[in-house]
Amino acid sequence: MISPHGGRLVNRVVDEKERERLTALAPSLPKLTLNAREVSDLDMIACGAMSPLSGFMGSEDYKSVVDLKRLAKGLPWTIPVVLATKIGTSHEIYLPGQDIALYDTDDNFLAILHLEEKFKADKDNEAAHVLRTNDDVHPGVQYLKSIGDHYLGGEVSVVNRVKFGKFNNYRLDPKETRFLFKHKGWEKITAFQTRNPIHRAHEYIQKCALETVDALLLHPLMGETKSDDIPADVRLECYESILENYFPSTRTALSVFPAAMRYAGPREAVFHAILRKNYGCTHFIVGRDHAGFGKYYGTYDAHYIFNEFDREEIDITPMFFDHAFFCKKCGNMASSKTCSHTSDDHIFISGTKAREMFAAGDVPPAEFTRPEVAEVLIKHYTSQNTAEKAAAK
Amino acid sequence: MECPLGPIRVSSECHLSVPSNIEAQVFVEIYRSLLRRRLIGPPLDQPNSFQKDAMKESKVTVKIPRPLYRKIQVLIGDSGFNSATDFIVFVLRDLVGRTETSDGDFSSEEIKEVKKKLKNLGYL
């Protein structure tokens, strides 16, 4: 079984005795309410998905990650995992050495932050390095501008795991996926990250990958995404239908990945790979424009970034795939690596065109998307249209 | 001169040869630049002798009675298993896994819970 990043799977969930003590203590502590991304991050730190992190980053790790794509001790890590607070609100009451009670927006008590350090974020530098842009149009930049200017660093003791309203049956912690893989005897497992419904191109690269490993973990991201991304429950219905009809059930597993999207392109690809290693996966599929947004990243930048690290220090093996499509001349799914024909022979439907077709109740060609997936998406888009029309009246 | 980063793939048929008068470090810089621009591929994975031995030993042949093999072929029918071998490996892994998963990270109660969760998903 592949080792977690840093060698040990972190567990920051306290035992029952400590839980009682901290629950009693919490009302007397300064309080901080976390946003959706911070709640996701906290939960992933709690269960070891973010190993070796045992809390939110301090300034040393933050600077090192932003500038060098590594934690201060040298381990590869490409995305800052930080907890923000705003000046002029309750910021001044948080003092290093204090314990702070962390709550979600529904006022559920989640954890204690053992505050070690409070430091000013360099958001311009963070955006320029991590997102490669300071453009306000980028959702990552928008997020940075929406949060406080100071970050709070320190270990966390998680008292109550986050109560997610949906998909709880599909929520498997790293130690649970590791248990599954061990139990099934799977030695080589590839993970597929997605925040979109699965079309034929995705299915093709998943199956190409599956040809060379023991199993596929379909690991859709279910944390916070852009408001115009397809809702998580619709996506999950697509995954269920495609797995039921087109994948070998003996070699495939579906579980949700609770992270929030950063839209940080290549850096997020490495981040996603490292986290999947913590889940016990040995391979990770990286397609075109992984975790990208608009034209901010080159189509294959998420492939090249892996060259900046030694294979041993990342450990999980990236599986790179080019743009895939159905080629009429080849008569099968192919990619720019394997097809010699021109784009005139390729069946390609843009995202916008596909959305228009689904909204009109038109089923796209089976070479683009499976009919079962089309059915789910048509239902979603037509009900969305009906709701919008009703709201307009 | 041998490439310090291992053999370089220009195409499936051709390896890049390195002029002997280029310093190793200069070559590494050129190579990385070409790699960044995707003009060449990454170093080929060439298994060393240890890996070759490991690959040789990654599978073994196990003999089972032919009548049993035929029964398994009938049994798998349209079940999704591609071959009797796939089915046998699946069943054996499941059996062996059951004895191996007394994981130190879990209490016996937690193991029950995890197994229940995974069974509900149809994975066990």
User: Best residue in A180, A217, A245, A314 to probe B by mutation, most B CBs within 10 Å?
Assistant: A180
User: Would you call A169 an interface residue with chain B, using a CB distance cutoff of 8 Å?
Assistant: yes
Q: Mutating which of A183, A306, A312, A336 best tests the B interface, going by the most B Cβ atoms within 10 A?
A: A183
Contact present, B101 and A186 (Cβ < 8 Å): no
CATH 3.40.50.620 domain position(s) in chain A: 171-257+263-392
> What pLDDT is recorded for position A342?
92
pLDDT band at B82 (very low <50, low <70, confident <90, very high): confident
Mean pLDDT of chain A: 91
How far, in Å, CA of A328 to CA of A367, rounded? 9
Question: What's the gap in Å between the CA of B34 and the closest CA on chain A?
Answer: 11
d(CA A341, CA A331): 11
pLDDT at B13: 38
Name the pLDDT band for B14 (thresholds 50, 70, 90). very low
| Pair type for strands A215-220 and A189-194 | parallel
- Helix, strand, coil shares of chain B, percent, nearest 5, are 50, 5, 45
Instruction: Kindly calculate the radius of gyration of chain A based on its CA atoms and give it in whole angstroms.
Output: 22
Q: Residue A212, class by beta-carbon neighbours within 10 Å (0-12 exposed, 13-18 middle, 19+ buried)?
A: exposed
Q: What is the pLDDT of residue A222?
A: 84
Q: Does A249 touch chain B (CB under 8 A)?
A: yes
A288 is catalytic: no
Residues 288-347 of A with CB under 8 A from B: 300, 304, 307
How large is the average pLDDT for residues B56-64? 76
User: The tokens of A57 are what?
Assistant: 């980053």
Contact A263, A306 (CB under 8 A): no
Q: How far is B67 from chain A (nearest CA, A)?
A: 25
Percent of chain A surpassing pLDDT 90: 74
Partner B contacted by A176 (CB < 8 A): yes
Please name the residues in contact with B63: beta carbons below 8 A apart, sequence gap of 6 or more: none
A195 has catalytic annotation: yes
Q: What's residue B21's pLDDT?
A: 52
pLDDT of residue B11: 39
CB A220 within 8 A of CB A239: yes
Q: What's phi and psi for A343, nearest 5 deg? A: -65, -20
Contacts across the A-B interface (CB distance below 8 Å): 65
Using an 8 Å CB-CB cutoff, list chain A residues near B118. Answer: 172, 176, 179-180, 183
Q: Residue B4 — very low, low, confident or very high, per pLDDT cuts 50/70/90? A: very low
What pLDDT does A32 receive? Answer: 93
Q: What is the pLDDT of residues B91-119, one digit of tens each?
A: 887 676 655 544 556 778 888 888 898 99
> Would you place residue B84 in the very low, low, confident or very high pLDDT band (cuts 50, 70, 90)?
confident
């590869």: which residue's tokens?
Answer: A76
The answer to whether B105 contacts A175, with C-beta atoms less than 8 Å apart, is yes
The boundaries of every CATH 3.10.400.10 domain in chain A are 16-162
Environment class of B8 (CB within 10 Å of its CB; exposed 0-12, middle 13-18, buried 19+):
buried
Q: CATH number for the A171-257+263-392 domain, one of 3.40.50.1820, 3.40.50.720, 3.40.50.2300, 3.40.50.620?
A: 3.40.50.620
Q: Confidence band (pLDDT; 50, 70, 90) for B3?
A: very low
C-alpha to C-alpha distances, A201 to A258, A304, A370, nearest whole angstrom: 24, 21, 11
Q: Which residues in chain B are closer than 8 Å to A186, comparing Cβ atoms?
A: 93
Class of domain A16-162: alpha beta
Q: Is A165 helix (H, G, I), strand (E, B) or coil?
A: coil
Put simply, the answer to whether A183 touches B124 (Cβ < 8 Å) is yes
What residues have CB less than 8 Å from A205, skipping those under 6 apart? A192, A285, A287, A321, A324, A335
Whether the ω angle into residue A52 lies within 30 degrees of 0, i.e. cis, is yes
Name residues of chain A where pLDDT drops below 50. Answer: none
Q: Which of A275, A284, A270 lies closest to A188, judged by CA?
A: A284
Beta strand extents in A2-108 (DSSP E only): 31-33, 55-56, 84-85, 99-103
Spot the catalytic one: A35, A134, A196, A385: A196
Cα separation, A350 vs A370, whole angstroms: 16
Query: Tens digit of pLDDT for each residue in A157-167?
Result: 999 998 877 78
